[in-house]
Amino acid sequence: MRRAFFGKLAASTAAPVAAALILAFVAGCAAPKAYHKQTPATSAVQSQSFMIPSADILPSNIIPQAATIPVYHTVHAKETLWRISKQYHVPLNEVMAANQIRDARQIKIGQRLLIPGVTRSATYNFVMPYLPPADHWKYIVVHHTATREGNGETINALHLRRGWKEGMGYHFLIDNGTDGRADGEIEAGRRWQRQMDGAHSNKSNMNHLGIGISLVGNFSEVQVSEAQLTALVQLTKSLQQRYGIPLSNVISHRDVPGAATECPGNNFPWKRFTEMLKRIN
């Protein structure tokens, strides 16, 4: 089934995350937990991917209809063709045929792959993630990374260095235009693909009950970008509608009972965010 994708994957350049990122993140907001490790079928570059820029549902009243264009996926470090095919819910053999690939192990970092049968809007800087059936998600918890820059790959590596076996503790990351990702681009972690507990809030059983969404940035120091806020609203509303999560259960990390943090930062526009959600039926 053809699915609509929204956004454009913009290629930007940024320096690697410096040591300051690590120091800043220590003051951030995620919390560790033990998980079961999964290993993908084949590794084309290094190991498994954890990004899932694919789509399942997007209510028509959330994003206006716009001209659509084909979806291309740029291969990042540690991604496999098998994983990419799962991200977009397109059979591996179809992806290989569309890109004239004979050996699934021979993809390269930076290679652009056409995803057959999938289109996206040219209007937005994000694509909506695949939202699989589930019945245990009761909350949506909003975070910031407390870093100036980053993307799914760098935050994943940072969390691995902190000893978190499954890497990035959030289910979703919304980029701020640094480290080669577009401002407002949505990245979904392997915890989301595997429907695993998060490692973003270890109070009130929220790692199990809550979907963790983090925006790259330190919003105790800077403001949330319009692109990030737009993407957060669209993603949150889609999750609410998919899993029957009421607005009262869309909370910030600091509002989790028992949490001692100011995450997602004092500059986070919570009132405006919730008002935008209310305007979407």
Average pLDDT over residues 6-22: 38
pLDDT of residue 51: 35
CA–CA gap between residue 220 and residue 151 (Å, rounded):
19
Average pLDDT, the chain: 79
pLDDT of residue 36: 34
DSSP 8-state code for residue 270: H
Instruction: Return the closest-CA partner of residue 130 out of 71, 189, 75.
Output: 189
pLDDT of residue 18: 41
pLDDT grade for 29, boundaries at 50, 70 and 90 = low
Asked whether residue 255 carries a pLDDT value surpassing 50, the answer given is yes
pLDDT of residue 74: 80
Per-residue CA distances from 42 to 79, 85, 168, 195, 196 (Å): 10, 12, 21, 21, 21
pLDDT tens digits, one per residue of 119-169:
777 766 677 778 889 999 999 999 999 999 999 989 999 999 999 999 999
CATH classification of 45-121 is 3.20.20.70, yes or no? Answer: no
pLDDT of residue 118: 82
Per-residue CA distances from 77 to 43, 176, 181, 252, 271 (Å): 11, 20, 13, 31, 38
For the chain, the structural domain boundaries read 19-33+128-278, 45-121
CATH classification of 19-33+128-278 is 3.40.80.10, yes or no? Answer: yes
pLDDT tens digits, one per residue of 211-233:
999 999 999 999 999 999 999 99
Average pLDDT over residues 71-95: 85
Amino acid type, 7: G
Per-residue CA distances from 218 to 44, 249, 279 (Å): 34, 23, 27
| Bridging pattern class, strands 112-121 and 68-74 | antiparallel
pLDDT grade for 66, boundaries at 50, 70 and 90 = low
Q: How far is CA 37 from the centre of its chain?
A: 19
